[in-house]
Every structure is written in C-alpha cells, then in structure tokens.
Amino acid sequence: MFPFDKNAYLERFSKIRKQTINICKPLAVEDFVAQPIVDVSPPKWHMGHTTWFFEALVLENYLQDYKDFDHRYGFLFNSYYNTVGDRVQRPDRGHMTRPTVEEIIHYREYVDEKMIHFIKSESEKIDEHLSYILELGLQHEQQHQELLVTDLKYILGMNPIFPVYKDYIEEVPDSKDTEVKFINVEEGIYEIGYQGNNFCFDNELSRHKVYLNPFRFMERLVNNGEYLEFIEDGGYSRFNFWLSEGWDWVKKQDIHAPMYWHKIDHKWYHYTLSGLEEIKPDDPVTHISYFEADAFASWKGKRLLTEAEWEVVCQINEPLPNKDSNFVEKENFRPLPCKNGKMQLLGDLWEWTGSAYLPYPNFQKSDGAIGEYNGKFMVNQMVLRGGSCATPKEHIRNSYRNFFHPNLRWQFTGIRLAESL
Amino acid sequence: MFPFDKNAYLERFSKIRKQTINICKPLAVEDFVAQPIVDVSPPKWHMGHTTWFFEALVLENYLQDYKDFDHRYGFLFNSYYNTVGDRVQRPDRGHMTRPTVEEIIHYREYVDEKMIHFIKSESEKIDEHLSYILELGLQHEQQHQELLVTDLKYILGMNPIFPVYKDYIEEVPDSKDTEVKFINVEEGIYEIGYQGNNFCFDNELSRHKVYLNPFRFMERLVNNGEYLEFIEDGGYSRFNFWLSEGWDWVKKQDIHAPMYWHKIDHKWYHYTLSGLEEIKPDDPVTHISYFEADAFASWKGKRLLTEAEWEVVCQINEPLPNKDSNFVEKENFRPLPCKNGKMQLLGDLWEWTGSAYLPYPNFQKSDGAIGEYNGKFMVNQMVLRGGSCATPKEHIRNSYRNFFHPNLRWQFTGIRLAESL
Amino acid sequence: MFPFDKNAYLERFSKIRKQTINICKPLAVEDFVAQPIVDVSPPKWHMGHTTWFFEALVLENYLQDYKDFDHRYGFLFNSYYNTVGDRVQRPDRGHMTRPTVEEIIHYREYVDEKMIHFIKSESEKIDEHLSYILELGLQHEQQHQELLVTDLKYILGMNPIFPVYKDYIEEVPDSKDTEVKFINVEEGIYEIGYQGNNFCFDNELSRHKVYLNPFRFMERLVNNGEYLEFIEDGGYSRFNFWLSEGWDWVKKQDIHAPMYWHKIDHKWYHYTLSGLEEIKPDDPVTHISYFEADAFASWKGKRLLTEAEWEVVCQINEPLPNKDSNFVEKENFRPLPCKNGKMQLLGDLWEWTGSAYLPYPNFQKSDGAIGEYNGKFMVNQMVLRGGSCATPKEHIRNSYRNFFHPNLRWQFTGIRLAESL
Amino acid sequence: MFPFDKNAYLERFSKIRKQTINICKPLAVEDFVAQPIVDVSPPKWHMGHTTWFFEALVLENYLQDYKDFDHRYGFLFNSYYNTVGDRVQRPDRGHMTRPTVEEIIHYREYVDEKMIHFIKSESEKIDEHLSYILELGLQHEQQHQELLVTDLKYILGMNPIFPVYKDYIEEVPDSKDTEVKFINVEEGIYEIGYQGNNFCFDNELSRHKVYLNPFRFMERLVNNGEYLEFIEDGGYSRFNFWLSEGWDWVKKQDIHAPMYWHKIDHKWYHYTLSGLEEIKPDDPVTHISYFEADAFASWKGKRLLTEAEWEVVCQINEPLPNKDSNFVEKENFRPLPCKNGKMQLLGDLWEWTGSAYLPYPNFQKSDGAIGEYNGKFMVNQMVLRGGSCATPKEHIRNSYRNFFHPNLRWQFTGIRLAESL
C-alpha cells in the first residue's frame, strides 16, 4: 500500500466502485428500499454508505475546499462510527425513502469524480496513514458488495412471489465427489495471522504461534443430503444435540430447516437467486446458523474446526484462491457441489468455526474512526473463514476473519466437520 | 343504493379510482414502499388493497369466468379479513418490494376494466346485497385515500430531509376569528345515528334516542397558540392533567409536543406536506393523541364533547359540508385557521370525542367478510367525528363514526372543548 | 359522614382493620411475598399499603407530633399516588422481602393505635374534608380486602401443588333454577348515579338522566354448563365471535378456557380456594375476561348490558344487598348456583358491562392525592357492576362502578346476557 | 472417587448438606421466596433443588423401594435438565410460595436420611459411574452454596431498607500492598486442564498443550481506588473504551458504576452483606460485568488474561488454596485488600478472563442428564477463574472453569490486568 501507486489505485477504484452498481442492475427501484430484518440493509443504503465512507474519511479531511454533496447525508449514511457523529438508527434505514436511488447515484458520481480528482492532483498528500484509509475504502466497499448480495437475497427471498434475480443454467459436472474423507493434521507449533506486505485488517494481527493438538478434518463441505438425514432423524426436535441457547432459539423462532427452505407437498425446496428450486442433495448446505452447524456436528459425533486449525489447514492445502474457486465473480450466487477432491476452503461458503471472535496476542486497535472497524465487536460472535460465492475473490485471504452472532444465517454459511485425535 | 343506478355508479367508480392515482402522483417510486410504523401502510399496498377489495368481493364471486390477475395477490393485499383467508402479516407490508408500483398499476387497470365490463354487461346480477358491496368498495377506497395522505405524510415527515409533497401558498385571510366563544345546548331527548336512504356504515345504526344533559361547546377548534400555552405551562411534565396511561405514554415515548413538531434554535416548527414551517398560532393544533386532547382539556378545566353531543351540535349547526369546508379536494392538506364564525365541525380536523367506540342499540354486524368491517374494533378505541382536510368531502356525514386508539396521532386530529352546565 | 360520628367510626375502623388480618390467617408466611403477575400484589404489600394510606393522608397531616413508624415505608407502600411522592415500581413489589410480615403487623398496630388516639382525642380537627378521607380510608381498605382474596387465589392457584385456603362443604340446594328467562325493560328516561347522603366515590357522580331504548336481560348469570357448550362449539377457535383485540389475545396467550380451568383426562377441573374441583354445570362461570364475555354473548346472538341498563335493572329488582347475597362475609369464596328466581345482581360475580369506564356528566375530580383515585383510569377499561363473593357486603351500592382492562380475569367476573328490543 | 470410600463420603455429605442450612440461618422466611431477576433463584429453591438432585439422580434410580417425598417436587425443583423432564419455568421460581421453607427442610431431612441409609446399607451398588454422581451431588451443592450467597446478597441488596446479613468487624491490616507490579511470563508450550485422580468437571478435560506468547500480569486485583479513577475520567460516558455490545448495555441499562454502588451526597457507598458502607479505595473492585472489566482494561491500555495464561500463572504462583485464602469459610463475604504480595489468584474474586467458554480438545460430554451440566452452555459466555469469597474452599482448583454472560455482575467478579510483550 505504501508507497502509494496512483495508477494502480485509480484502476481498482473505478473497477470496484462500478461493481457495486453492477450488482444492483437486476433490481427494481422498490427493491432498493426495504429492510425486512435489522441485519439486512436496503441496497440504496449500501450504495450511499460506501460513498459516504470516502467522503467522510478522505474528501472532508484531505481535499482542498471540498463541498459536501449534501450535508444531511452524513446523518443518513453513517453506519456505526460514534467517532464520526450521530446517525439514523439502524432499524430505521428501511424507512428512509429519500434520497432516491437516482439521487444516490448522483452522489456516487459526485464523490467518485472528486476522489479521482484528488488522487490525480493531490496525491502528494497521501502518506502511509491515508494510503491505508484509501485501501480500506476499497476493502470496505467489497465487504458491502457481499452484503448487497446477501441482503438482496433476503429481500427477494422473503417475498411470497420469489422473484428471480438472475437465471442460472447448471453445468452438468463431469465428475462428482460426495464421498466423505477425513485428513489428519499432526500436532505441533504452527503460526497464524497475516504475514506479508499487502492490506490486512487489524484483527488478523499479530502473526503468532499456536499449538495444535492432533486432529482431522472433512475434505469437503457438508451437503444437503447429509443435512436432510439430520432433519429426518429429528435433528430439530432432539434437545441433546443443541447448545442451550440454540435450543431456545429453535423453540422460540420455530425453526425446522435452514433459512430459505420450504416444504411443499412433502418435498423440500429452497429459494435461490434464480427462484424457488428443489433441493439438490450434492449441493453444500447453506444458510445455517452456528447453532445448527454445532448441532449437526454434535449429531454426527464430530465438531467444527477451530479458526487456528482452519487457517493451518488452508495454509497447507489451498493457500490462495485458484481459477475454479467459486467467488462472486463467477456469478453463481450459490455454493457448488464438490468436484474431484477440491476442498472448497476458499469460496463457496463461509465456514463456521468453533472459535469465538477475540483479539490475537498484541492486537492493536487503530486510532479514531478506523479503530471502530473490528475490535469493538469482539464478544458474543463466532469466527467464519474462507469467503463465499458472494465474496469478491480479491477480498479474501487465508488469514481473513469474518464474524457473526451464532443465530444469524442470512449469509452464505456452511459446515465442515472435524475431530480431535 | 338500490335499485342500482348503473351510469351513476360507473361515473363515480372512475372518478374515485382515478383519485387514488392522483394522490400518489407527487411521490417517488421509493416512497411507495416504506412502512415506518405499523399503523402506516406503504402507498403501493393501499393501491393494491383497494383493488383487491373489488376483485375478492365482487369479481371472484360474480363475474363469469373471471381469471385472477395474479393468484398470489390475495395473500399480499388482504388487510384483516379472516373470512377471506391468510395474508401477509401487517408489520411485513413494508418488506414486500414486489409487485412493483408499475405492476400494481397494471393490476388496477385490469380490475377496473373487468369491473366496468361487469357493471355494463352483467348488471342484472346486482341485487341489494351486491349493490351494497359495490358502494362499500367506493367508500372503502375513499377511506384509504385519507390514509394515503396521512401515511405518505408520515413517510416523508419522518425523513430528516423533509421532502415537499406539494407547495402551498397561503391565502391572506380577510378576517380572523380567534376569540373563544362557547355555545349552550339545552338538555333533553335527541336522536343520533344515520337517517336516510343513502349509504352508511353498520356502526351508524340504529338511529336512536339519547338524553343529553345541558352543556356548552367551543365554537371553533383549539389552535396552536392555545396549545403552546399548555406546553409552556409545563403541560407535558405535570402528571395531574393526564390519564394514567397517557402519563405512561408521555414518559415512555418521551413526548414533548404534537407529532411533527421540532424545536430548532428555541423556535417551534412543524412538518407539513409543503415542508418544514414555523408554527402559526392561529392554525388549529393537529396530530395530537386522545391523551393529549384530554390532558389539554383537563388543564383548561374543561372536557371533550361526547359523540352524541357532537352529533347533536352538528345536526343543529352544520348538518352538511358546505363550499368552504376544508376537505381533501381543496388540496390544502392542512387545517385552516377559523374564519368569521365558521365552526369547523365538518372538515379541517377529526375531533377527538370523550366517547369510547361501542355499538349503538340494535347494532347488527353484517354477515361474512363485510361483518369484519367495523364491529370487531369496538374496544379500546375512542370516537372521532367530522372528517379532516384529508377526507373526501363526499365521504363524510354528521353521523359518521371514526375511531382510533388513544395514543395514535398520525391522523389529522384536533380538539374542541366543552363543559357540563 | 359529616358531622363525624366518633364512636361509630371507631367501631367500624376496628372491625374493618381486623378483617384484613382475618383474611390472611390461613396463609403461610411465604404466601405473603409473591407477585406472580403485575396485577397481583403480595398480601404483605396490601397489609402495608392500606396502613400507609392512614399514615400518609391522616396522621402525617393531622396528628400533632406524629412520628413515622419508619420513614422508608412511604417509598415501599405508596401504590400510584404521584402527588405523595416516589415509590417502589409496581412490578418490584414481589421482590421486597423486607419488611417482614411480622414487622408489617407491628406497623399496622402502631398506626391503629395512633389513629384511635387521634380520633378519640383530636376529633375536633375533623372537618368535612378529613371526615371524607377517614371514610375513604375504610372504603379503600375494603377494596384491598377484595384484592387480597383474588390475589391470594392467584398466588395459590398458579402453584402446581394447588394448596387449599379454606375447606368448603357444599350445601345441597333445596331447589335449583337453571332455566333461562329474559325480563323486559321499557324505554324511557331513567336516572343513574349515586343518590343519598352516605359515602360514594367521585366516579358515581353526578346523578343524571339517561335515555334507555327498550331491552331485555337474562334473569340469572350464565353458568358453566352454558359456557362449556360455547367451548365445545369451538368458541375459542372461531374468530368471528371475537373482537379483533380479543382474538389476538386468545392466539397470543393460547387461551382455551376460563382462568383456573384445567383439562385432566378429558374432564374439566378448576382451582377454587378449596383446591382443585370438577366443574359443576350449574355454578356461574367466572374468571373470564371481557373479551370472553363479549365473545360468548356474540355466540349466543346477544350482548351484555350497558352500565346504565344494569343500574336501572338493579334499582328496580335488587336495590340493596339482602341476607342471602353471596358476599365475602359468607366465606364461600365462590359464586353459587342460582336459586329460586334470585337474580344475583348484587354479590356472586362482578358483571362485565358493555360500557367503557368514562366520566359522568359534571364529574369532578377531587383535589390532591384523592383526585388520583378514579379519574385518571378513565380510558381503555370496561365497567363491571354488582360486587362479588370476594366483596365486603357493606362496600357495595347499585351505583358502584368497578373497572378493569378487557383482558383481565383474575377477579371474580361473570356474564349476564341482554338484547335490544 | 473410585473405589468409593463410604465413611469419607458420609462425613463430607453431612458437612456439606449442613452448610447449606447454615448459610440460610440469618434469613427471614420472606427472604427465601423472592426472585428479583431471572438469574437469582429464591433461597428455598436452592434448598429444594440441591436435594432433588440426590433424589432424582441417586435415590430414584438406585435405592430399593424408594418412595418419593412428594412426586410434584420433581416438577418444582428441576433446574434445566431436559433429560429428567418438565419443570417450572425459570422466571416462575419466585412465584412458588409452596412448598414452604419448613416443608423443604423436611424434604431435605427425608432425602438425607435415605441417602445415608443407602450409602450405609447398599454401598455395594456403587460402581464408578454412581460414585461420580455421588461426588457430583456434593460439588453441585457447593456450587449452589455460592449462588445462595450471591443471590441472597441481591435479594437483600436491592431492598431500599438494606438489611444486614451478618455484621463485619474489619481487621486493621498490619501492612498494605497497593503498589502496581507486573510479572513477566515467558513464551513457550505449557499444559492446562485438570491433572490428577480427584473429581473434576468434564469441561476441565482433556489436559492439553497450549502455546503462550510472552506476556505479563498484574500481581494483585484492581482496587476501588483505581476503578474510581476510571469513573471520574468519564469511563462510563466514553464509547471508545467499550465493546459495542457493552456500550449498548451501558446506555440501555443506564449504568454508571459497579452493581450495589450508590452515590449519596457526592460520596460513593456500596451495599455489602453487612449493610451499606462507604467505598474503601484499597478493597478490590467487585460486581462488575465483563463489559466493565474489558472497558477498564482498555482505558488502562491493557487487557485481561486469557484463561490459559491465568491457569499457567496460577500453576506457577498459587497452585493450591492456602490458609489465608479468602473463601466462604472465612465468612468475610467480601474481597479483602491485598496484603504483602499475596496474589489473590484463588479466592477473593472470580477474575474475568478474555476467553470465551468453549470446549477443550477432546472434550467429551457425559451421557444422559449429567451431560447437560456444562457442554450445552459453551456459547456467548466468558470464562472466570479462581473462585471468590463466596466459594467453598474445597470446591476450587486452578483448572476450574466458571462462566457467565458478559453482562452479568451479581457474582463476586473482579479484574486483573495483563499485556502482551
């Protein structure tokens, strides 16, 4: 990131900013407004918020004589940065019908133009700190691109009309690999955490040693066929497989299957971004909560990987995304069945780990607004690893730590089993 | 209503159906989607629901070979008729981004065409019962036109951008009348309830005798200037003026002024459909709850009229709307200051009465879905009388009974004082 | 009440104060502490609160050099009088294990002694206002005696052990009268409201004229046998009999029968203060909400009496309690089956009326704390009439207005049907 | 535990069972009933529940011809064991006034007698599994003794009368040690988890290797004086020290100081089991949540120890309780100021660690009801270590893992700082 490469940045800036618009193309104007659950933000809010990030953290602080597009947008598009001021409360995002989508597109264009102008003409101001913020702005936009996909899936998928976002023509796989294999990992001292000179989040640091006791892990993700066996074996009605809070959640929310699953005339269907489809047994099971992942593992007499175990497994087996990795650029918007011994560590589905989201040794929160990015969420959330079919490929690393509350399941989440030896 | 006048109906049908679209013209597509509180429905829902009423209660039952526009719309646009089947739960209306506004306009056109065809070509089927339902469909649409105005006011008014729905140029009144006069009414037996051969709701029947003890009533509505005195006298912080549940509401909701009022730099403003404006002392105070109306009256040492008193006062003084009455057709979208001894009984503001919404003697609930229209709401609501600047003029009668829960204030509600003699 | 009769008062004071203790005699110390729902207060709270009333409203204001028993008790035993100061919040009453029952009994003895001393030695201070307060203190204690009975029934009745408060030996009735008769009342002008020179509450005034349209009423209360028919006819699962809020209540609270009813091995039992008993068809049905009373009436094609109708019926047929009236002094603690044309208007069960609790013409709220007694509850509650098997006989009048929210049913409530003619 | 030592067990059984009664001696009967928050159970429930444990898990399964004391007690005194059947819901424990305290004491005596009889006369039935359950029964009772102390503190401490449980005469310490020292620990492989042949909980196993990165830790607990500096520096009003959920908790619950602290006339007091006392700066700060512990550490630029770090520190410095350790047997019922380089690792206060409560490698949940003891709580809770002034001395080990939700603070919780090197 530093020294700052102006041209490389400008190219990535344009490409990434444009990608946000691309994701929204299939939407009707109405789809940009709704917030059916508090975790889901309206697409137009994502479009405004990612723009506000550049305006509030770059332009207002660094661009000479910068004039806000609209001074009220700070109040509307701040997400949670107490450092930066007051804001519309999160549950009210879906009640803000103005600014319109068109006005927000103007806002994006205005800020993009000023950003490009700034990078081109005032790049001498870009020191190490600003260079970090500029990169963070792109990373932040990529995170919201993933949320855009999962949020619009929720908005469309909870509608009884089940609108199609994008048609999907399934490839007939030349081979399938649904056998269950477990691979051993030897005990010993390993290192985890980010290593290198590119961007990483503060929560991936410091790189540090861990001791892993011997274990083995399932080579591929758990699939719908296996999960259906759990359902049919009474998985959702037998308390002994469940964490106590998970069981309360099942009872209170009346949960009987993964999110988006519907039983119609004795057959299971699920909503995908191509509409309602019959469940395919070889597809990885997705849209499950940590509670469900843990209960499934418990039913199998297994457990989930810890995040350290996962990272070590990934370092050894799939240290980088490859050309087949199922990230958002493939536009499948769904996990694919395992082929030919592919491990599906990177892409397809975020894998729930058995680790709580906590600081690494020597974790240092950044100063100011940037410091609110990660550290303050380090309680009551579980770590997920590996990225999904909704994640931009360039956004992921094997040290990347995602985190959600254990009851949430609108992300593309999945299960990989493990056991101690 | 019966015998059925085909041509008169067709004319009114077209005019009233078109008026719904007219009200929505100034909206952006985004404004059609939101439901910021459960009481407010998205404009596109109103457009669909009023159409569904004709489809479900007329076309499906009476038009030969009628084919639904879309069989899923019944689930989406039923409001609360258990008789007619399942439906999207009320708090989820704002989460339904589909069908789009355009699709709903197609739906309206489709149903309108079929309705006109039905009236023109199958009018021999129209017996007394169907004639009532056809009229009810229009009355129902007018009720939703009023809700459209108040709901879109809420959607725009809670937005920090305070969008303008329609500009307003104030007339300079040739005279003002802000003096407070009370008029006496003698005790005795009176009759209330609907009398005549036109349409009325079941809750206005039967016409029956009441005994009124002597009282007097304030000739005009309470205005902002008077209400500001109440605020400045600590009205919202002195429990002894308030009903116990009203006081809990004030504390819990942190209420300090009518809805839409904002204190900015020591001055009071309020949101109107023409944007944020400074409070004018001679304008009638509006957007107050029954709790506030009652507390204000208590502070004044007065009370509200009962609904029987109000109806008798109206029979005597303003039995019908006149050309100056401030209904929605005037497009003021706000109550006007009192002029020249006008009593403002009909139009301007719904007046909270001190009467709970309960059945009249010999009240008969209709059979089937129509029976769910009024009777089932007869508990825990207070009666309002007279219509408002958002009510269609043809919709009102002096026997018309409106009703809301005592904490609600997004309707154009106002206060008229009274006292026993 | 005025001029004040010292000796008569002293005698009633002692008798009524002692009765509170008598009611509590069968309780274990533990039973004095619990507050299983917010509407139910712990018996020891009632004992303290009724004592505090005399201390705070009489002794502290009038008795020379009065020294509080414990200055912290005001905070603990104030119920809702904002005028008199802060207090333990209502839902916390059951969390206050101190003062102990024994300490509260000392408190009662201390205040009783001071009160008797005051009446005896400083009665010259007793003007009309104080005379009213002194009487109010006794009336207030009687009201809490009724609540004591219903609250301890709730505390014992929700315990799976179903403890017995007092054994009950049923008389074999010499005659039964279960036939359903309706009696006509002619239309015309009647008067309701308190008339006389004894004590009444402010809400019973002023005496005023009402016009009653012709109606008829059921001679006795609805019994369990009739209510069972309603249950067996699907009463709790057919929405069309229910008010909309009643139906929500049934669904949300999962209501299938009156409070205290339990179905065990296909038979219905109910908890009484003598333990769990099989339902007897001729006993009046009790512990039903207004919602249930209204739904039952609707199922029968009838309605409830208004409070004006009830009072007129009572004036004509049973203007005063008689020796057979089933009040708390009979120690039945349950309603009795109708015998020989007794109308059961006074005693047995509070009868839900179809009237909301609202002020009479010329209603005047008293000044100060006393003014918080009745008027501030005049919204969202329904009127009940006639007293119950838990009411002190001397406490009732045919103009007496009781009131509860429409969902409540832990009082001894019942149903009498009526219809317009 | 196995082979089973009959005499040793009988002696411990009697001693531990008696200790439960001893703790309750200073209470009034009323104090046994209340449940002011859902986390606090009524003392009489603890007395019944610990007894039910022996009845349900030992006597009913093993004692020939055992007759339940009362078959309804299973429903009343089961805590959360789904395996063992239905139960009174946790929030209703405080509503159960029966059985009375006296009846529960009879229940205890009955079960004790049967237990002693069983151990004496049928000890040949005691295999390894039963031997474990018998020991677990004692361990379980000791856990509830700790809860008894903290729960009765809550019941008395939330009462505005602030009753005294036991007077306390403070020793004048011969020396004080309030200086802040940090001690370094070298990086490397360590082992944690239970090692030995005595009782431990399933969650302490398996003993396993961990890699610790270098760190240092504060030699004593954080004291009130230090915590007051945090308060006075605006600790509770500066969001940047807080976890996001912690900040929400502070705002929503309006938190300004540790639990039981009261500011009276500009001075800080706190409720102790000896009544209300002024805060002493050298006493360890207690009754703070994880959120507060974490915020304090953040304010200091430090962090908490992980549980592995804590256990290693304890292994090295204070592997076993010593004669000065401040456990419940000392009857201080409060943490003591640090003396002479005592580290206060065991006793005084449970120390919040920065570790979430999760399974160790090779963790094995037991079968049946016993399996519900620990494993099902392994989400959303933080680990605490070291025992407190309310913990029985024999109950603790350096591998002992306690756990609570991060917002809870009615336990004797405290803070020890650490930092990475």
- Tens digits of per-residue pLDDT, D313-355? 999 999 999 888 999 999 999 999 988 778 999 999 999 999 9
Q: Is C95 at the interface with chain D, CB within 8 A?
A: yes
Residue A174 has pLDDT above 60, yes or no: no
Can you read off the two tokens belonging to residue C273? 């203060």
**CA A39 – CA A413 distance, rounded (Å):** 15
In contact, A293 and A353? CB cutoff 8 Å: no
Q: What distance in Å separates residue D302's CA from the closest CA in chain A?
A: 10
Torsion (CA) B97, B98, B101, B107 in degrees, nearest 10: -150
pLDDT score for C366: 79
In contact, D382 and D404? CB cutoff 8 Å: yes
**CA A293 – CA D127 distance, rounded (Å):** 36
Q: Is D186 at the interface with chain A, CB within 8 A?
A: no
DSSP states of A172-234 as a string?
--S-------EEEE--EEEEES--SSS---GGG-S-EEEEEPPEEEESS--BHHHHHHHHHTT
Model ipTM over 0.90: yes
Which residue in C189, C291, C377 is closest to B244 by CB distance?
C377
Q: Which residues 67-86 of chain B have a CB within 8 Å of chain C?
A: 80, 82-83
Q: In what order do the strands lie in the sheet with B413-414?
A: B402-404, B382-385, B350-356, B413-414
Q: In what order do the strands lie in the sheet with C267-272?
A: C261-264, C267-272, C275-278
- Residue of B98, B102, B107, B162 to mutate for A, most A C-beta atoms under 10 A: B98
Spatial neighbors of B91 by CB under 8 A, at least 6 apart, are B35, B38
- Residue A218: Cβ-neighbour burial (10 angstroms; 0-12, 13-18, 19+): buried
**CA B40 – CA A5 distance, rounded (Å):** 52
Render the burial of C140-179: b for 16+ CB within 10 Å, e for the rest: bbbbbbbbbbbbbbbbbbbbebbbebeeeeeeeeeeeeee
**Please, what is the average pLDDT of chain C?**
94
Test A95 with B156 for CB contact under 8 angstroms. no
In contact, D126 and D4? CB cutoff 8 Å: yes
Residue C171 has pLDDT above 90, yes or no: no
Q: Is C356 at the interface with chain B, CB within 8 A?
A: yes
Place of tokens 């009955």: D110
DSSP states of A23-48 as a string?
HHTT--GGGGT--SSTTSPPHHHHHH
Q: Which residues of D touch A80 (CB under 8 A)?
A: 244
Cα C61 from chain centroid? 29
Domain D182-420's class? alpha beta
Helix, strand or coil, per DSSP, at residue D360: coil
Q: Which residues of D touch C32 (CB under 8 A)?
A: 30
Helix, strand or coil, per DSSP, at residue C244: helix
Are 3 or more Cβ–Cβ pairs between A and C shorter than 8 Å?
Answer: no
**Please, what is the average pLDDT of chain B?**
94
Q: Is D89 at the interface with chain A, CB within 8 A?
A: no
Q: Which residues of C touch D96 (CB under 8 A)?
A: 34, 159
**CA D283 – CA D171 distance, rounded (Å):** 13
Q: Which residues of B touch A32 (CB under 8 A)?
A: 30
For C364-384, write each residue's pLDDT tens digit: 987 777 887 788 999 999 999
pLDDT score for D185: 98
**CA C37 – CA C150 distance, rounded (Å):** 12
Render the burial of A172-199: b for 16+ CB within 10 Å, e for the rest: eeeeeeeeeeeeebeeeebebbbeeeeb
Sign of the alpha-carbon torsion through D193, D206, A248, D369? negative
Test A211 with D215 for CB contact under 8 angstroms. no
For A221-272, write each residue's pLDDT tens digit: 999 999 999 999 999 999 999 999 999 999 999 999 999 999 999 999 999 9
**Please, what is the average pLDDT of chain A?**
94
Rounded to 5°, the CA angle B330-B336-B339 comes to 110
Test C30 with D98 for CB contact under 8 angstroms. yes
Residue type, C361: P
Which residue in B189, B247, B358 is closest to C354 by CB distance?
B358
Per-residue pLDDT of chain D (421 residues; tens, 9 = 90+): 678 999 999 999 999 999 999 999 999 999 999 999 999 999 999 999 999 999 999 999 999 999 999 999 999 998 877 777 788 889 899 999 999 999 999 999 999 999 999 999 998 989 999 999 999 999 999 999 999 999 999 999 999 999 999 998 877 665 566 788 999 999 999 999 999 999 999 999 999 999 999 999 999 999 999 999 999 999 999 999 999 999 999 999 999 999 999 999 999 999 999 999 999 999 999 999 999 999 999 999 999 999 999 999 999 999 999 888 999 999 999 999 988 778 999 999 999 999 999 999 999 987 777 787 888 999 999 999 999 999 999 999 999 999 999 999 999 999 999 999 9
Domain boundaries, chain D: 6-157, 182-420
Over range C138-165, report the average pLDDT.
97
pLDDT score for A2: 75
Task: Tell me the H-state helices in D94-222.
Answer: 101-121, 128-157
Spatial neighbors of C202 by CB under 8 A, at least 6 apart, are C363, C364, C365, C366, C373, C374, C375
Test D420 with A80 for CB contact under 8 angstroms. no
> Rg for chain C (alpha carbons), in Å?
22
In contact, D372 and D201? CB cutoff 8 Å: no
Residues listed for chain B: 421
Domain C6-157's class? mainly alpha
For C27-63, write each residue's pLDDT tens digit: 999 999 999 999 999 999 999 999 999 999 999 999 9
Test B380 with C406 for CB contact under 8 angstroms. yes
**CA B276 – CA B270 distance, rounded (Å):** 6
Q: Is A313 at the interface with chain B, CB within 8 A?
A: no
Q: Is A364 at the interface with chain B, CB within 8 A?
A: no
For A74-118, write each residue's pLDDT tens digit: 999 988 777 777 888 888 999 999 999 999 999 999 999 999 999
Q: Which residues of A touch D303 (CB under 8 A)?
A: 359
Test B95 with A34 for CB contact under 8 angstroms. yes
pLDDT score for D82: 79
Instruction: For residue C90, give the DSSP letter.
Output: G
Spatial neighbors of B420 by CB under 8 A, at least 6 apart, are B213, B214, B215, B303, C361, C362
- Residue B54: Cβ-neighbour burial (10 angstroms; 0-12, 13-18, 19+): buried
Omega prior to A319 cis, within 30 of 0: no
Residue C177 has pLDDT above 70, yes or no: no
In contact, C155 and C36? CB cutoff 8 Å: yes
Test C362 with B209 for CB contact under 8 angstroms. no
Q: Which residues of D touch A359 (CB under 8 A)?
A: 303, 354
pLDDT band of B83, cuts 50, 70, 90: confident
Q: Is D90 at the interface with chain A, CB within 8 A?
A: no
pLDDT score for A341: 73
In contact, D30 and C98? CB cutoff 8 Å: yes
Which residue in D92, D98, D159 is closest to C96 by CB distance?
D159
Can you read off the two tokens belonging to residue B82? 């258990």
**CA C55 – CA D229 distance, rounded (Å):** 45
pLDDT band of B378, cuts 50, 70, 90: very high
**CA B122 – CA B129 distance, rounded (Å):** 15
Work out the angle between the directed axes of helices A43-54 and A6-24 (0-180°, nearest 10): 160
In contact, C210 and C367? CB cutoff 8 Å: no
Q: Say how many C-beta atoms besides its own lie within 10 A of residue C201's C-beta.
A: 17
In contact, C217 and C263? CB cutoff 8 Å: no
pLDDT score for B176: 63
Which residue in A189, A239, A290 is closest to D82 by CB distance?
A239
**CA B301 – CA D273 distance, rounded (Å):** 52
pLDDT band of B145, cuts 50, 70, 90: very high
> Rg for chain D (alpha carbons), in Å?
22
